[in-house]
């Protein structure tokens, strides 16, 4: 029997015309209709042709994943909507002799009297002709209602007319898609986009409409009743899209909930896009909801960009210094340079407000260089006035790590102020393995700078990067132990991290130390260097010098 069915699938697949099949959920059987090869053929097997296809070993591996996804959808009655005309599924079979054959399967659901439960499915297989395959590969994303311009009209109409439903606009993209393109090549990048598109095609019901906006950015518009509908929609979609062949990647989703139905669709999309970019870099949450704060942020961003150049010329970017202490004897052993924007009208603007903007528009390069120069100047002033200098670490944004200019710049500064190189240390946040950034970090090392891995444990850095990068010091992020300290297990992780770092010859400093207990615990674990509010906040240069003076005085017993 099995043999006979497999033969039939093979025959079905060979046909150039439509082959129909019918799956009856009540009897759990299937039969072929209007089939020239098998007139009046009926079978009451518990299987169905989709499952048979799944077993066919000519089916492409990636398409098998998608087919499984489709089967699950068919089994989950809730995922069908009465307005669904049909589901389309395109798949590849290894050609019998050579090459690849494309097929399209369409599945038409029929509903029982309640209108909810799928009672039976009619389906068809069809071999795609050359033109259809070509269209698929070139135009898949941009045909008909998937074209962004046409999509905007459809979306506006839906939202305006369907007043019984609330609507959510969801935008998403692949995190680090450029990196995937660089690493695996553009062809694979395109395959991944097709894969995402196929899953969207399968997953979205007639009421859930989608379009590809650009590159790896997609938009879906869905009606919803409860917020949980949105979450489960996104999680289900994500589960289907994630991973292609053995390439892993993740997504960033932004959601805008429509309130004003007459709002231009472009603005709705932009708002979802803002929500999407707001969660970038957040390792724990990948769904962001738009709120009104974003608008305010956008306004500040604009005003920051308008003012930044003049601010640099007016010396409004000021270096503050936060001392680093030895836990055992509370002496100052170094400092970190942290920028503050002192605006004549607004007062002190904290770096979190403007650094992300500068990192996006590239201005961070100029601003950092300015702070590096402040640090060198300050070290020079210590030497000139006979004060025993301590090293100052400066932050080096990842934006610098695209080329070797930053090393030249640092070298020039050290020469210009004629200071020992070991007094200027570099704090770098290491994120994903990036070959280019790594070679830049190595270059800085070769040129003799001492390197601190910033924010270790914050989710960006990993033990893995420790192996391949030449850092001298591990800077344990405050989030690492503020949350971990509470549990025994967390404490173990910290103490093991500390002993492991020592084993491989890395020095350590803990940042964000706020309580005596934290300092004691670190000390017990073997970390004797700390920076944090327990000791001092970042302070202006002259205040720092006073701290140093007091420190030297106590050190000498006066």
Enumerate binding residues for Ca ion (CB under 5 A). 395, 427, 454-455
Q: Which of residues 360-379 bind ligand C2E (CB under 6 A)?
A: 364, 368, 371
Measured over the CA atoms of residue 257, residue 262, residue 268 and residue 270, the dihedral's sign is negative
Total interface residues for ligand C2E by CB under 6 A: 24
528: CB partners within 8 A, 6+ apart: 326, 327, 328, 522
CB of 416 to Ca ion, least distance (A): 23
Q: Is 509 in the site for ligand C2E (CB under 6 A)?
A: no
Considering the complex, state which of residue 124 and residue 369 has its C-beta at the smaller distance from ligand C2E: 369
CB atoms near residue 154 (< 10 Å): 16
Q: Which does 532 bind (CB under 5 to 8 A by kind): ligand C2E, Ca ion, none?
A: ligand C2E
Q: How far apart are CA 484 and CA 66, in angstroms?
A: 40
Q: How far apart are CA 459 and CA 455, in angstroms?
A: 8
98: CB partners within 8 A, 6+ apart: none
Backbone φ and ψ of 287, nearest 5° = -120, 120
CB of 109 to Ca ion, least distance (A): 54
Q: Torsion angle of alpha carbons 143, 149, 154, 155, nearest 10°?
A: 120
Kindly tell me which residue out of 208, 395, 461, 529 binds ligand C2E, with binding defined by CB under 6 A: 395
CB of 46 to Ca ion, least distance (A): 60
- Chain position whose Cβ is nearest to Ca ion: 427
Q: Is 350 in the site for ligand C2E (CB under 6 A)?
A: yes
Q: Which does 355 bind (CB under 5 to 8 A by kind): Ca ion, ligand C2E, none?
A: ligand C2E
CA nearest 284: which of 321, 252, 254, 316?
252
CA nearest 120: which of 21, 22, 19, 20?
22
Considering the complex, state which of residue 172 and residue 406 has its C-beta at the smaller distance from ligand C2E: 406
Considering the complex, state which of residue 103 and residue 406 has its C-beta at the smaller distance from Ca ion: 406
CB of 420 to ligand C2E, least distance (A): 21
Kindly tell me which residue out of 289, 430, 532, 548 binds ligand C2E, with binding defined by CB under 6 A: 532
Q: Is 538 in the site for ligand C2E (CB under 6 A)?
A: yes
Kindly tell me which residue out of 455, 476, 484, 544 binds ligand C2E, with binding defined by CB under 6 A: 455
Kindly tell me which residue out of 512, 519, 525, 530 binds ligand C2E, with binding defined by CB under 6 A: 512
Q: How many CA atoms lie within 13 A of 169 on its CB side?
A: 29
End-to-end CA distance of the chain: 98
- Provide the binding-site residues for ligand C2E, judged by CB under 6 A: 322, 338-339, 350-352, 355, 364, 368, 371, 395, 397, 427, 454-455, 478, 511-514, 531-533, 538
């Amino acid at each position: 029997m099995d043999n006979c069915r497999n033969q039939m699938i093979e025959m079905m697949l060979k046909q150039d015309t439509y082959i129909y099949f019918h799956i009856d959920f009540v009897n759990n059987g299937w039969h072929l209709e209007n089939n020239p090869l098998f007139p009046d053929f009926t079978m009451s097997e518990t299987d169905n042709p989709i499952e048979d296809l799944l077993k066919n070993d000519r089916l492409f591996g990636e398409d098998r994943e998608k087919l499984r996804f489709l089967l699950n959808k068919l089994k989950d009655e809730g995922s069908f909507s009465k307005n669904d005309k049909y589901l389309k599924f395109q798949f590849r079979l290894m050609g019998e002799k050579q090459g690849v054959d494309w097929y399209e399967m369409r599945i038409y659901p029929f509903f029982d009297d309640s209108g909810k439960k799928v009672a039976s499915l009619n389906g068809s297989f069809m071999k795609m002709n050359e033109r259809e395959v070509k269209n698929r590969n070139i135009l898949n994303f941009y045909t008909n209602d998937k074209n962004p311009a046409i999509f905007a009209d459809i979306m506006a109409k839906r939202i305006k007319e369907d007043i019984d439903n609330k609507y959510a606009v969801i935008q998403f993209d692949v995190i680090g898609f450029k990196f995937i393109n660089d690493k695996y090549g553009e062809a694979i990048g395109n395959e991944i986009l097709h894969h995402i598109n196929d899953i969207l095609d399968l997953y979205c019901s007639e009421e859930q409409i989608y379009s590809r906006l650009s590159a790896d950015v997609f938009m879906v518009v869905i009606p919803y009743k409860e917020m949980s509908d949105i979450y489960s929609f996104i999680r289900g979609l994500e589960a289907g899209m994630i991973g292609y062949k053995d390439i892993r990647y993740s997504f960033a989703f932004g959601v805008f909930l429509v309130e004003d139905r007459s709002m231009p669709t472009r603005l709705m999309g932009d708002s979802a896009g803002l929500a999407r970019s707001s969660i970038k870099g957040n390792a724990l949450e990948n769904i962001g909801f738009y709120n009104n704060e974003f608008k305010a942020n956008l306004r500040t961003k604009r005003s920051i960009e308008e003012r930044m150049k003049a601010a640099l010329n007016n010396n409004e970017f000021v270096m503050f210094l936060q001392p680093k202490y030895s836990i055992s004897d509370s002496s100052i052993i170094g400092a970190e340079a942290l920028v503050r924007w002192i605006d004549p009208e607004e007062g002190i603007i904290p770096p979190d407000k403007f650094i992300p903007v500068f990192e996006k528009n590239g201005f961070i390069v100029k601003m950092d260089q300015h702070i590096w120069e402040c640090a060198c100047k300050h070290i020079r002033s210590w030497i000139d006035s006979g004060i025993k200098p301590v090293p100052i670490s400066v932050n080096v944004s990842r934006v610098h790590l695209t080329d070797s200019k930053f090393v030249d710049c640092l070298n020039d500064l050290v020469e210009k102020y004629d200071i020992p190189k070991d007094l200027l240390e570099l704090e770098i946040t290491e994120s994903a393995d990036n070959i280019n950034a790594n070679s830049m970090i190595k270059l800085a090392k070769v040129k003799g700078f001492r390197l601190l891995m910033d924010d270790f444990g914050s989710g960006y850095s990993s033990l893995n990067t420790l192996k391949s990068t030449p850092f001298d010091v591990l800077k344990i992020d405050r989030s690492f132990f503020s949350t971990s300290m509470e549990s025994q297990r967390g404490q173990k992780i910290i103490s093991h991290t500390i002993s492991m770092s020592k084993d491989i010859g890395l020095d350590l400093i803990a940042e964000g130390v706020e309580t005596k207990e934290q300092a004691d615990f670190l000390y017990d674990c073997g970390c004797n260097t700390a920076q944090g509010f327990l000791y001092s906040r970042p302070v202006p240069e002259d205040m720092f010098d006073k701290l140093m003076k007091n420190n030297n005085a106590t050190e000498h017993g006066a």
